[in-house]
A and B are shown apart, each in its own frame.
Chain A
Amino acid sequence: MSEPVVEVQGITKFFKSFKAVDNVSFEVCPSEILGIVGPNGAGKTTIIHMLLGLTTPNAGSIKIFGLNFNDHREEILEEVNFSSTYTSMPYSLTVRESLKVFGWLYNVKNSDDKIDELLKVFEIADTKKMQVRNLSTGQLTRLNLAKALINDPKVLFLDEPTASLDPDIADKVRKYLLQIKREKKISILLTSHNMKEMEEVSDRIIFLHKGKIIASGKPEAVVQSFRGKNLEDVFLKVAREKQA
């Protein structure tokens, strides 16, 4: 088995006295999609933020491409990208201008060609000259995804990337993620509340609850270990049992 591209060892995060992430360890291998699932407040987004250097863990270590994040931030971030349903792009810029800015930030050669390619893939080529403020939520989500692929990242962090997409576009995005994973050997760390989606695209999943990993492995193995019908069934069981 090849060396993992992301190695997380015992990360813990407190927000005041609240333990958002509790001694979490996992790895992401090359060309692997790792899904993180769990109820709201389980710590999924906090983990992604720590992996991107937006939040500092209280304990534990993060290595990406075998490099310590704190010592090699720029080097790592050049090869990584991120998309979240909770972020947007500069409202007054056009779609093309927005992506052009990120082309510069990631030092993308021939960014115009890359932008055209990505807009075509996500079926928003017709919005190229539109201001971001005039995009629909679905178009904006796809623009975020296009931004996340502008630098041909080796590792992609996606926080609920299909949350606001209609079933047709969401399906296309999932297929595209599987395709780039296969063809470009991208490793993807993905969070979603769509359990069907997680089962479909994830090679492995980790199940988080109250900041702790309560199960991990292949989706079918996790489902079996909880004696559930599917991941959604497991999710409901876990969320409701723990609430009770």
Chain B
Amino acid sequence: MTAHRIYGIFLRNLYLYKRSIPRLMEIFYWPLLDLLLWGFITLYLSRYGKTLPNFVAFFVGALILWDILFRSQLGISVSFLEDVWARNFLNIFVSPLTPIEYIVSLMFVSLFKILLAGTIMSLLAWIFYSFNIFVIGISLIPFVLNLVILGWTIGIFTTSLILRFGQQTEILAWGIAILFQPISAVFYPVSVLPRFLQAAARFNPASYVFEGMREIITTHIVPLQKLLWSFGLNALFLIAVFAFFCRILRAVKKRGLLAKIGE
């Protein structure tokens, strides 16, 4: 064992962090988000734990629904990365395929992944925890649809950032959706959050979905207003992110970055 060889590899990794803000952020990003998420869960349980009517439904249901959002996002951004990793990106973009067709096809990939993951998770939740996701009823469909759309929006946004800043930002493909988790009211209500985060949560379509889901489980009434808010915000964000993607695409073509990311 030699110190200089060990130092060589140590140095090789340090150099990576020297020039990469995403890598540097990654060091702090996950612990910070974990702390926020678990901190608010703990706060919620310490306040309302004893009065929660259907503990399993709240948490397992929330986990399955969150995973739908996450798969939806990965369906876009990781599928895009697959072509970058395979150096197939240029072949795709010199075909007659339009950018919008490309995104729409990734949305179908995302739906396929969600169907598979959602089925398996629901089945396992039923086997292991006797939890039936359909306890939420038919209103589950529009709520899930909202999570899927938000996942697409985050996926397209992430893809745009990777296009612009290159492969060094690919970590975002797994990280950005998680950023939304603490303000999505997945495992606790928005009211648990501090005021400034409550304000942020109001602009997050997912918070209405998870709050709505809990409302259905406890009151058996579909909160239409929450559903409408979620759809409205999602429509707005989806249009905005499409425009953002097209703008970034134009910019990367001008800078010659599209060709670079594909080689």
Spell out A's residues near B (CB within 8 Å): 13, 15, 20, 45-46, 49, 52-56, 73-75, 77-78, 80-82, 84, 86-92, 102, 105-107, 132, 144, 147
Contact = CB atoms under 8 A, between A and B. Distances in A.
Interface of B: 82-83, 85-98, 250, 253-256, 258-259, 262-263
Given A49-B259, A105-B92, A106-B95, A54 B87 contact: no
A88 B84 CA distance: 10
A86 B87 contact: yes
Given A55-B253, A56-B253, A88-B88, A102 B259 contact: no
B256 A87 contact: no
B86 A91 contact: yes
How would you classify the secondary structure of chain B's contact residues: helix, strand, loop or mixed?
helix
How would you classify the secondary structure of chain A's contact residues: helix, strand, loop or mixed?
mixed
A74 B120 CA distance: 40
Nearest to A150: B95
B94 A102 contact: no
B253 A87 contact: no
B259 A55 contact: yes
A102 B95 CA distance: 8
A84 B90 CA distance: 9
A35 to B, nearest CB: 20
Nearest to B95: A105
B94 A82 contact: yes
Which 10 pairs of residues, A with B, have the shortest CB-CB distance? A88-B87, A105-B95, A77-B96, A74-B96, A86-B263, A52-B94, A49-B259, A56-B253, A54-B259, A55-B256
A78 B96 contact: yes
Contacts of A78: 96
Contacts of A132: 86
Contact of A54 (B86, B93, B97, B98): B93
Contact of A56 (B82, B83, B254): B254
A78 B94 CA distance: 9
B90 A54 contact: yes
A23 B208 CA distance: 56
